[in-house]
Amino acid sequence: MSRRAAVLGHPISHSKSPALHCAAYAKLGVDIYYSAIDVTVERLPSFMESLRGDDAWCGLSVTMPLKSAMVKEVDEVRGAGAHLGVINTVVFERDAGQVRRVGYNTDVAGIVEAVRYAGVVAAPHAAILGGGGTSAAAVAAAQELGAHHVDVFVRDAGRAGDARAAAAAAGISLAVRPLTEAASAVAGTDLVISTFPPRAADSLAEELAALPGSGAGVLLDVAYDPWPSRLAEVWQRHGGAVVPGLEMLMYQAAEQIRRFSGCDVDAAVIDVMCDSVGLPRRVF
């Protein structure tokens, strides 16, 4: 029987996850049909209920704005997701005829692997742009990369709850700062992770563009459509290194593919995933 998996979010038409997953499953020779399904926060409970009794489902990828809401729709959360309260992966586990929905957060590993592949060995000083669900993974990733403190820049301090909770769980100090302070503050930061959706950081980019170049550090911009983002263009012009969001997406998807298929994702699979979204093949 063909198995099913999908990426859920709203909006979702721009998602590159189907290309990554389908390329991997074809290379692995496993019969998993993977698609993109537009689901809002309001519709999520009824959608998840509609999957009950359908044995074809093996996994779900979860993107914005569902990463926090999905926690209530699973039977168990494991790993980093249990501490962060934010998940981007649901695995349908079967045992003795019973199906359990288990949540994970593979965004943390995706960020860490993408930044390390770019050459970042340690990031003692990190800054995060945005305070939504992905910011929680960014906080945990910064801690794993060696940061002891992160500054989180947001438009509304009241919407930084996910980042605050993640910092408490990871044991890292955190300061929530207004976005109006970000341009001058991030210029000299070792690692900056932008979790803003596409074009949401354009005004910040213009503020940065007005500042003198200062040999910026590494920027991971999780937005990947359109690419390069205005923020990425300005950052590179100031002498910094840019990690495209597709790198993070690819690495977090690799962990999902392992869990959905039960197969090892080796270098050959990573290569076809890179090919599917226009990333250069890996050099290990």
Q: How far apart are CA 220 and CA 192, in angstroms?
A: 6
Taken as a whole, the chain contains a residue count of 284
Q: Tell me the C-alpha distance between 78 and 63, whole Å.
A: 18
- Note the helical H segments in 2-119: 17-28, 44-50, 80-84, 107-117
Any residues with CB less than 8 A from the CB of 188 and at least 6 apart, and which?
214, 216, 217
To 10 degrees, what angle do helices 202-209 and 230-237 make? 20
Which residues share a beta bridge with 244?
221
User: Residue 67 catalytic?
Assistant: yes
Out of 16, 27, 67, 72, the active site residue is 67
Of the candidates 207, 241, 244, 248, which has an alpha carbon nearest to the alpha carbon of residue 228?
244
Question: Within 10 A of 243 (CB to CB), how many other CB atoms are there?
Answer: 23
Q: What secondary structure letter does DSSP report for 17?
A: H
DSSP state of 66: -
Per the rule left: phi > 0, alpha: psi between -120 and 50, beta: everything else, 84 is alpha
CA distance 230 to 238: 13
Please report, in angstroms and rounded to a whole number, the separation of the first and last CA atoms in the chain: 36
Backbone angles phi, psi at 90, to 5 degrees: -125, 125
Q: Which two tokens stand for residue 185?
A: 């503050």
Catalytic residues: 67
